[in-house]
Amino acid sequence: MSAQSLSLTQESKWIIGRFDDLLFFSGSAVFGYTLALIGLTAGEIPGALVVLLALLVDGPHVYATATRALFDADERKRIGPTWLILMVLCFLAPIVSWAIGFYAFFVFVAAWSHYHITKQHMGFVMLYRRKAREREHLKRDKYFALSALGMPFLFYLSAVLLGSTRLLPWFLIAAVILIGWYITCQSLLEQRNWPKLMLLIAFIPLQWFAWSYAAVEPFSPGRLLTAALAINIGHSMQYLRLMWFHNHNRYQTRNGLIGLMSRKWIFFFAGVVVLALPSFLVGQSLLKWQRPFIMGFVMFHFVLDAKLWRVRGDADLARALRL
C-alpha cells in the first residue's frame, strides 16, 4: 500500500464514523441473514412482515431519491430530459410484462435489482478507498466486488434455465478460487483497509445464502421474494443512512421542505415514509396484472439513482460526503 495511506488513522477511513458504518453499511447484512433464515425455517416470509418492510424500509429508500431529484432545483436541472426517458420506461413495463409473462418480467426486475445493489456495494468499496487515500489496485477491488457479489445470482439464473442446481459445484469452485486470490492479494499488503473488507465479508456470503435458497426451487415466487428481500434490506438501510448523511451536510441550512427534512433525522425519515406512502397504498390495492406499473417505477429509481451518485465530477456531492 502506498505511503500516504499509512499515515492515516483507522478512524479516518470510515465514511461517517465507526459506529454508523458498522451498524448501517456493514452490519445491515445481519437483517438480510435474519430474513433468509425466516424464509428457510418458515417456508416463506410472513405477509405482515413483507408489508411492514415495504412501508418502513424499502419504499422510503426508493423515494428518498426524490429529496435530491425533485426538491433540489440544481439536481432537477442536471437530470434534465432523463425524466422523460424514465417516464417512458415506467409505462413500457406493463407491455414488457405482458409480452414475456409476469414471472419472467419479475426475474428480469430481480436481475436488474441485484445488479443495482451490487453496484451500490461496489460504490461503498470505492468510497472506502477514497477515504483511505488508496491509489493502487483500483481495478482489482472494483472487479472483485462486482464478480464476487454477482456470481451467486448467476448461479440462481443457471438454476432457472436448467431447472436444477447441478452447476453449483462449478460456481463454488470459481468463487473459492476468486476469493482465495483476493485474500492472498490482501495478505501481501502492509496495511489493509478493514472498513472496505468488512463490507465485503458481510455481504458476499449473504448473496450465496439467499440465492442458493431461491435456486433450490427456482420457479417458486415465495423463494424468489425471500431472496430479494434478504438482499435488499441491507441495501435499503445503507441507502437511507447515506442519503441522510448527504442531505444533512448539504441542505440543512436551506429554506423550504428540503431544508426542514435535512435538519433532524426524524424529519427526514418521516418525510420519506410520507413520500412512499401513496405508492405503497396503490401497490397494495392493485391487481396482479397492474403491478408492473409499480415495478416500472422501481426501475425508474435504478436509472435515476445511478445518475445521482457519481462522485467524480460533482464537487457538491463530494463535499456533502466529506470526501
Query: Between vectors from CA 143 to CA 211 and to CA 218, what angle results, nearest 5°?
Result: 15
In eight-state DSSP terms, residue 220 is -
* Pick from 193, 201, 199: nearest CA to 12: 193
For the ranges 43-47, 122-126, 207-211, 259-263, the lowest mean pLDDT is seen at 43-47
Helix extents (H) in the chain:
3-6, 18-20, 29-42, 47-53, 59-63, 66-69, 73-79, 82-100, 102-131, 138-162, 168-187, 194-216, 221-251, 256-261, 265-285, 292-308, 315-320
Phi, psi angle pair for 188, to nearest 5°: -85, -10
* pLDDT, tens digit (0-9, with 9 covering 90-100), for 256-273: 899 999 999 999 999 999
What is the rounded distance in angstroms from the CA atom of residue 212 to the CA atom of residue 159? 9
Q: Hey, what long-range contacts does 205-209 have (CB within 8 A, 24 or more apart)? A: 206/29, 206/32, 206/33, 206/36, 206/230, 206/231, 206/234, 207/149, 207/151, 207/152, 207/153, 207/231, 208/152, 208/175, 209/33, 209/36
Residue of higher predicted confidence among 198 and 316: 198
* pLDDT tens track for 38-74: 999 988 899 899 999 999 999 899 899 989 988 998 8
Given a cut of 70, whether residue 240 has pLDDT beyond it is yes
Q: Where are the alpha helices (DSSP H) in 163-220?
A: 168-187, 194-216
Are 192 and 134 within 8 A, CB to CB? no
Phi, psi of 72 (to 5 degrees): -100, 110
- Residue % of the chain over a pLDDT of 70: 93
Which of 33-42, 209-218, 220-229, 281-290 shows the lowest mean pLDDT across its residues? 281-290
Q: Which residue has the higher pLDDT, 288 or 4?
A: 288
Band (32; pLDDT cuts 50, 70, 90): very high
SS3 (DSSP) at 224: helix
124, 313 contact by CB (below 8 A): no
CA separation for the pair 19, 302 (Å, rounded): 28
Say if residue 277 is exposed, middle or buried (CB neighbours under 10 Å; 0-12, 13-18, 19+): middle
pLDDT of residue 10: 46
What is the per-residue pLDDT across 264-301, written as a single tens digit (0 to 9) for each? 999 999 999 999 888 777 766 655 556 677 777 777 88
| Residue 5: predicted pLDDT | 39
Q: 151-160, 208-217, 243-252, 290-299: which has the minimum mean pLDDT?
A: 290-299
> Which triple of cell numbers denotes residue 277?
406512502
pLDDT value of position 297: 73
Q: What is the mean pLDDT of residues 197-205?
A: 97
Please give the average per-residue pLDDT across 1-27, as a whole number: 72
Cβ(58)–Cβ(237) below 8 Å: no
CA pair distance 53, 163, nearest whole angstrom: 30
- Work out the widest C-alpha separation in the chain, in whole angstroms: 60
pLDDT value of residue 282: 72
What's the start-to-end Cα distance of the chain, in Å?
20
Rounded Cα distance, 122 and 141, in Å: 8
pLDDT band, residue 158 (cuts 50/70/90): very high
195 Cβ contact partners less than 8 Å away, ≥ 6 residues apart: 13, 14, 15, 21, 25, 26, 128, 131, 132
